[in-house]
Amino acid sequence: MTLHREGKNIMLWSIFSTVVLSGLIHYFLSECCPIVYWILQIGFLVLLGLVIQFFRVPNRTCAGESFDIMCPADGKVVVIEETTETEYFKDRRIQISIFMSPLNVHANYHPITGVVKYVKYHPGLFLVAWHPKSSTDNERSTFVVAHESGKEVLFRQVAGAVARRICYYPTEGQYVEMGSEFGFIKFGSRIDLYLPLGTKIDVAIGDVVKAKLTRIGKLN
């Protein structure tokens, strides 16, 4: 396991703040209020641990084959439905949404191999990630990758109520491989996928999924 580069500044500031606060409460509380002192010390260490674990990146090898659609993020499947995708395709697609809690790994990975056809960042609101309008009103970034079969898959990073920054790396025209990293969302958020109608789906609502390991479906 490694720590993600996007968390470098946050982790450094968290460590610095923990050291400073720990020193202050030691000076003011260690003798007069030992119970409060230890409660606060333990609380600061727990918070620091939560921040650091958020930026963890497990070592995994993508298990997908050529026509597989692999999970782009750790989390839980909260939506599987046929809907109209209005930004790029403007037609009916199968939407699959994966909610990432603050305890999940938040690195994001390409679900298929192909050529990046579309990249678009949208500033927006910070509704809770499971809100019905979060996919269209929240801060988000949208990507479309064309598979060698000619079929295209759209996937979208959606910021949540806690997440305030979306990081992404692909550019239009770039060739990307399934399981390669395309971005990171800081704190709670979700990923939406829009798949062609008729795609074989291998997950169900409520499933806990793992990036690069869980197969979402298979292109026909």
As a whole number of Å, the end-to-end CA separation of the chain is 34
Q: What is the pLDDT of residues 119-162, one digit of tens each?
A: 999 886 655 555 555 555 678 899 999 999 999 999 999 986 55
Decide: 156 and 191 in contact? Cβ < 8 Å.
Answer: yes
**pTM for the whole thing?**
0.83
Which pLDDT value is given to residue 159? 81
How much is the pLDDT for 81?
96
The alpha carbon torsion through 98, 99, 103, 108 (nearest 10 deg) reads 40
User: Residue 76 corresponds to which amino acid?
Assistant: K
Mean pLDDT on 62-91: 95
**CATH number attached to the domain at 68-218:** 2.70.70.10
Can you tell me the mean pLDDT for 164-179?
91
Q: Decide: 160 and 187 in contact? Cβ < 8 Å.
A: yes
Encode pLDDT of 5-63 as tens digits: 777 887 788 898 989 989 888 888 888 888 998 999 999 899 888 778 777 888 899 98
- Residue in the structure block whose two tokens are 């759209």: 154
pLDDT confidence of residue 161: 57
Residue 59 contacts residue 99 (beta carbons within 8 Å): no
More confident site: 148 or 102: 148
Length of the chain, please?
220
Q: What is the pLDDT of residue 187?
A: 67
- In this prediction, residue 162 carries a pLDDT of 57
Q: What is the pLDDT of residue 133?
A: 54
For the stretch 196-214, pLDDT in tens is 999 999 999 999 999 999 9
Map tokens 């918070």 to a residue: 47
SS3 95: strand
Instruction: Say how many C-beta atoms besides its own lie within 10 A of residue 137's C-beta.
Output: 15
Domain boundaries, the chain: 2-57, 68-218
Q: Is 193 left (phi over 0), alpha (psi -120 to 50) or beta?
A: beta
pLDDT of res. 49 = 83
Question: Residue type at 216?
Answer: I
Q: What is the pLDDT of residue 123?
A: 82
- Beta-carbon count within 10 A of 162 CB: 15
* Cα gap 183→165, rounded to integer Å: 11
Helices vs strands, H then E, count in the chain: 3, 16
Separation between Cα atoms, residue 164 and residue 47, nearest integer Å? 19
Instruction: Tell me the average pLDDT across 191-196.
Output: 96
Q: Cα separations (Å) of 171 from 37, 138, 159, 174? A: 50, 22, 20, 6
| Confidence class for position 163, pLDDT limits 50, 70, 90 | low
**One-letter amino acid for residue 73 of the chain:** A
**Confidence at residue 160, expressed as pLDDT on a 0 to 100 scale:** 67
pLDDT mean over 109-117: 97
Return the pLDDT at 56. Answer: 80
Active site residues per annotation? 189
